[in-house]
Structure formats: structure tokens, C-alpha cells
């Protein structure tokens, strides 16, 4: 297939803010399950080194917390002086393998496991969080502190050698939960109309750009829809994207969807691994999960590039570069997405199964990725994220 002259080449150099990526395929963030007690391990370094050797232009490290209570649990890396040497070792390995490195930074908010963290989870309004405990409503002082945590976290990521910083605005983590009219019931300046619900996210994006500077790319991962009745939806998301574009701090938007609190399969699509997920729960919780599992892990049929129709709406509304995410397994999908105007394509599960898929495509192969969308990689995050079909990764 010959690419028309006005369509970007998949494997040609591509600008992302101040960066030049070697191609237009990015490894999207997937929690690696390789940081016990929040430590950067050889396994975490090897995870991203494999992706870098496999041909992706940039690999995204997930999930780096900016605040202690903002960790998903105690096994999440906290950005700070203690994590700096390990993260520098990781970025050095990625660079040596021929790719750039992006740091996904965020605050888990109501998705945080308060028991594991030893601190109450935070949310816009008091509610039950992901760990079953009541959250604490965020105060004005919390907002000021967490904003500064993001600024410092971005500076730490740059000091660690990351080329890009991705701000997590999705999946009902803290900033995403502020965007949601279902989760944000506040009556002060941080709740109510969309502009007020978006205020925290916009403030954080500005702080991250200030902390990161202009020599690295700053992107955001934004929910297009929570997939929950009464939640953040597509029309509001487009408006928030316009706000972020007008603020001028971002180099691109990666578009996602779903709620880690109540509808994670809206993001994944395909098989719902209920039995495998239940095995990761403590014994008393397994019985309850057998009752609520079908409501929490719903099944959505897998379609190649399933977020593409909704993401196309953002192309029509923005000049800001847009990164397509969601079930991309085929080279012709990447090519047609670029022809439509997407600037980059992000891949996750396909590269988890075959880290060298991009290199094979670059060498002339056109076979699709071998991911079968069974989603059994999802519960594997508790023991080290891997494709259970492919078996243990090769070092």
C-alpha cells in the first residue's frame, strides 16, 4: 500500500510538541504490576525496555502517583527523591533501546485503596471508594496541595529523564471524578457547571507545564465518557478538550473512556475475565463478587479501533493533536487513522502480547497483532502484568 503524499507515514519522524518521535505508534500506559512497595525493579525496567526494542516510538510508564494518598495502592511508585534513581535507570534503558519515555502522572482519588495506602481516599464529594471505605471530600487546602504535588511530580519526572509527561484525566481518578456530574456534587467553586468542574483539571495541567518546562512534551489522557449513567459524557468532554486547547499547555490529547470505580470494561471491550478477577480478591469478597461481578465487569463486544467514532468528533472540534487509543491491532487501522487526521496511535494489549509487533510492521510485515481480547491480562496486574496467552516475557 502506497501512502498518499498528504498522509503522514506511520514510520516517518513525527513531531510531538518539542519532541521528534521516530514513528507514530506509542505504547499506552498499562499498570505493570512490577513495583512492589513502590520500588522501581529490574522487571519494571525490562517491561519498558522490551517495548522500546520492539519498535514503538515512545513507551508510557504507568502509574506514577504525585501524592501518597493518590497511589492506587502501596505498590504504586510515588514521584519524589526516593524514586528518582530507579526512574532514571528506567529512562536510560529505554533511550538505549531506541525509544522515548513518557511518565503518566496522577492522583487516584476515589480509586485509591485506602487500606493499602494507610490514608483515606479522596473524592470531590464523600462516597464509597474502590476499596469499600468511605472517602474524604477534598478541601480547598487539599486542592492547593495536590496542585503543587503535580508541579513537583512533573519536575521529578523531567529530572528522571522522561521525554514526556502524561496527565491522567480519565477513569474516575481524582481529576476525572471532579469532571463527573455524578461524582462531583459540590456546591462551591469546584462543582456544579462544567466550567467549575473542569477548574481543578485545568489548574493542574497549567502546574504540570510549569513544573515540566517547555523542553518536554505534556499530554493528557482524557475520558470521552465514563460509561456510567449520569457521568461525564461526550458533549462535555469535547467542551473540556476545547478549554484545555485554549489554555495552551498541552501538546496532545489521548482519548479514553470508562470508570475504574464502576465500569472498567467500557475501556477494555471483549471478554470479561470475572473468574480470574475474583481469584485476586480476599476470600470474604469473592462471594460478594459472584453476585455483583456481572454488573461491575460488563461485556462489550470487541471491535477494531472501538473508540475511533467518538474520537473523530474531537478531530472536528480541535486543532490540538489527538492520539487514538482503543483496540488497535492492525497496521491498516493505524494508516487509516493517520489519514483521517489522528496524529498518533496508542497501543496497549497488542504490545503486551507482542512487544516486537511495531518492528515487524516497520520491516514490511502486515500481519495483525495476535491479542485475542480475552482481557485476562487485566487481573494479572496484581502479580506482574503479562499476556497469559503468550506466557512469560522473554528478557
The full set of domain ranges for the chain reads 14-382
Helix (H) or strand (E) holding 46: helix 42-53
Look at residue 107 in the predicted model and tell me its pLDDT. 98
Look at residue 136 in the predicted model and tell me its pLDDT. 94
Look at residue 394 in the predicted model and tell me its pLDDT. 55
Given a cut of 50, the residues of the chain with pLDDT beneath it are 1-4
| Ramachandran angles phi, psi of 73, nearest 5° | -160, -175
Which pTM does this prediction carry?
0.93
14-382: which CATH topology? Answer: TIM Barrel (3.20.20)
Cα separation, 352 vs 373, whole angstroms: 11
Look at residue 3 in the predicted model and tell me its pLDDT. 45
| Residues labelled as active-site residues | 173
Taking the mean position of all CA atoms in its chain, how far away is CA 190?
24
Tell me the three state secondary structure of residue 275: helix
Tell me the three state secondary structure of residue 232: coil
Look at residue 322 in the predicted model and tell me its pLDDT. 98
C-alpha cell belonging to residue 53 = 526494542
| Ramachandran angles phi, psi of 99, nearest 5° | -130, 170
Amino acid at each position: 500500500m502506497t501512502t498518499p503524499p498528504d498522509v503522514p507515514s506511520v514510520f516517518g519522524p513525527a513531531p510531538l510538541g518539542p519532541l521528534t518521535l521516530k514513528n507514530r505508534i506509542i505504547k499506552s500506559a498499562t499498570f505493570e504490576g512490577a513495583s512492589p512497595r513502590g520500588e522501581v525493579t529490574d522487571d519494571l525496567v525490562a517491561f519498558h525496555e522490551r517495548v522500546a526494542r520492539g519498535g514503538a516510538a515512545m513507551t508510557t510508564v504507568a502509574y506514577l502517583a504525585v501524592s501518597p494518598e493518590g497511589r492506587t495502592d502501596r505498590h504504586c511508585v510515588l514521584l519524589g527523591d526516593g524514586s528518582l534513581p530507579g526512574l532514571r535507570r528506567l529512562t536510560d534503558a529505554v533511550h538505549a533501546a531506541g525509544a522515548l519515555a513518557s511518565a503518566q502522572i496522577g492522583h487516584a482519588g476515589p480509586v485509591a485503596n485506602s487500606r493499602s495506602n494507610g490514608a483515606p481516599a479522596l473524592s470531590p464529594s464523600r462516597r464509597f471508594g474502590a476499596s469499600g471505605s468511605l472517602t474524604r471530600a477534598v478541601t480547598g487546602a487539599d486542592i492547593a496541595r495536590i496542585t503543587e504535588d503535580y508541579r513537583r511530580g512533573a519536575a521529578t519526572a523531567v529530572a528522571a529523564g522522561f521525554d514526556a509527561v502524561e496527565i491522567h484525566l480519565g477513569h474516575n481518578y481524582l481529576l476525572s471524578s471532579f469532571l463527573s456530574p455524578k461524582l462531583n456534587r459540590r456546591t462551591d467553586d469546584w462543582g456544579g457547571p462544567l466550567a467549575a468542574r473542569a477548574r481543578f483539571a485545568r489548574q493542574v495541567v497549567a502546574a504540570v507545564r510549569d513544573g515540566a518546562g517547555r523542553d518536554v512534551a505534556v499530554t493528557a489522557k482524557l475520558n470521552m465518557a465514563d460509561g456510567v449513567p449520569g457521568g461525564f459524557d461526550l458533549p462535555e468532554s469535547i467542551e473540556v478538550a476545547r478549554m484545555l486547547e485554549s489554555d495552551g499547555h498541552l501538546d496532545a490529547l489521548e482519548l479514553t473512556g470508562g470508570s475504574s470505580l464502576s465500569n472498567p470494561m467500557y475501556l477494555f471491550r471483549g471478554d470479561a475475565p470475572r473468574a480470574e478477577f475474583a481469584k485476586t480478591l480476599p476470600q470474604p469478597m469473592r462471594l460478594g463478587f459472584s453476585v455483583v461481578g456481572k454488573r461491575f465487569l460488563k461485556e462489550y463486544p470487541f471491535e477494531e479501533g472501538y473508540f475511533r467514532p467518538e474520537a473523530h468528533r474531537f478531530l472536528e472540534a480541535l486543532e490540538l493533536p489527538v492520539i487514538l487509543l482503543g483496540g488497535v491491532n492492525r497496521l491498516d487501522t493505524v494508516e487509516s487513522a493517520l489519514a483521517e487526521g489522528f496524529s498518533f496511535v496508542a497501543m496497549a494489549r497488542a504490545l503486551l502480547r507482542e512487544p516486537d509487533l511495531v518492528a515487524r510492521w516497520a520491516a514490511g510485515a502486515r500481519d495483525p497483532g495476535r491479542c485475542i481480547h480475552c482481557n485476562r491480562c487485566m487481573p494479572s496486574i496484581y502479580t506482574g502484568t503479562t499476556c497469559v496467552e503468550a506466557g512469560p516475557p522473554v528478557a
